[in-house]
A and B are shown apart, each in its own frame.
Chain A
Amino acid sequence: QKEVEQDPGPLSVPEGAIVSLNCTYSNSAFQYFMWYRQYSRKGPELLMYTYSSGNKEDGRFTAQVDKSSKYISLFIRDSQPSDSATYLCAMSALDSNYQLIWGAGTKLIIKP
């Protein structure tokens, strides 16, 4: 079993829909949770960064962490074709020297 599981997709939704992307993890020591967006032929770009549990909102993006369920989510409101990309979750813990553990990424397609 991988430490971080992420559905590879692709997830295809119409423009304007609310998108929900998720990761599950097995290590309860994870404290820092990140979402990166990766466009084709580009490097990942940090979207959201969350410490411990709770929600964090930035424009159309909301990151949610549920440590009791070992589950994190990224919500995208009013999705746009420009949101089409691969979304990678990553997480880290103090006791492993903050080494990032990555999900495999979910490919998202927003249809105009």
Chain B
Amino acid sequence: EAGVAQSPRYKIIEKRQSVAFWCNPISGHATLYWYQQILGQGPKLLIQFQNNGVVDDSQLPKDRFSAERLKGVDSTLKIQPAKLEDSAVYLCASSFFTTNEKLFFGSGTQLSVL
């Protein structure tokens, strides 16, 4: 079974630039998550999709972050404009369940904002 695919693995940008991350979940997983993980901290949920719909985006900084899930499969997360404090690992996860059991994570994108 193929895992959750994410790209790119690393990205370095300057503040005020824009950046986009891509995620392809495990086939058949209806629930998709984007997390932000700052070094030394647990993952912080940014947005959760159930198929095409948004279940929870309460912690997404909507003035600069946006996300979409195309046709209930792939997803992109965008930051525009980036700030220094956005430096983190952005993790995508997917789950077959709707009750947040058994999340499968990708390897993440390491973002450095200079």
**A42-B107, A43-B4, A43-B91 given as contacts; is B102 within 8 A of A100 (CB)?**
no
Task: Report the bound CA distance from A62 to B49 in whole Å.
Answer: 32
A60, CB-defined interface residue at 8 Å: no
Q: How far is the CB of B18 from chain A (nearest CB, A)?
A: 24
Within 49-83 of B, Cβ neighbours of A (below 8 Å) are at 55-56
User: Do A92 and B100 touch across chains, with their CB atoms under 8 A apart?
Assistant: yes
Q: How far is the CB of B50 from chain A (nearest CB, A)?
A: 11
Task: Report the bound CA distance from A46 to B97 in whole Å.
Answer: 14
User: Do B101 and A45 touch across chains, with their CB atoms under 8 A apart?
Assistant: no
Q: How many A-B residue pairs have CB under 8 A?
A: 55
Contacts of A104 in B (CB 8 A): 40-42
Task: Report the bound CA distance from A6 to B105 in whole Å.
Answer: 21
Interface of A is mostly: loop
Chain A interface size, as a band, is: 20 to 34
**A49-B101, A49-B102 given as contacts; is B56 within 8 A of A97 (CB)?**
yes
User: Do B99 and A43 touch across chains, with their CB atoms under 8 A apart?
Assistant: no
Task: Report the bound CA distance from A42 to B43 in whole Å.
Answer: 13
Within 95-111 of A, Cβ neighbours of B (below 8 Å) are at 97-100, 102-105
- Annotate A1-45 by CB proximity to B: 1 below 8 A, 0 otherwise: 000101010000000000000000000000010000000011111
Task: Report the bound CA distance from A100 to B93 in whole Å.
Answer: 13
Task: Report the bound CA distance from A98 to B56 in whole Å.
Answer: 11
B13, CB-defined interface residue at 8 Å: no
Contacts of B43 in A (CB 8 A): 44, 88, 102
Instruction: Report the nearest B residue to A92, measured CB to CB.
Output: B100
Instruction: Report the nearest B residue to A6, measured CB to CB.
Output: B42
B→A interface (CB under 8 Å): 4, 40-45, 55-56, 91, 93, 98-108, 110
- Shortest beta-carbon contacts, A-B, top 3: A43-B105, A102-B42, A98-B100
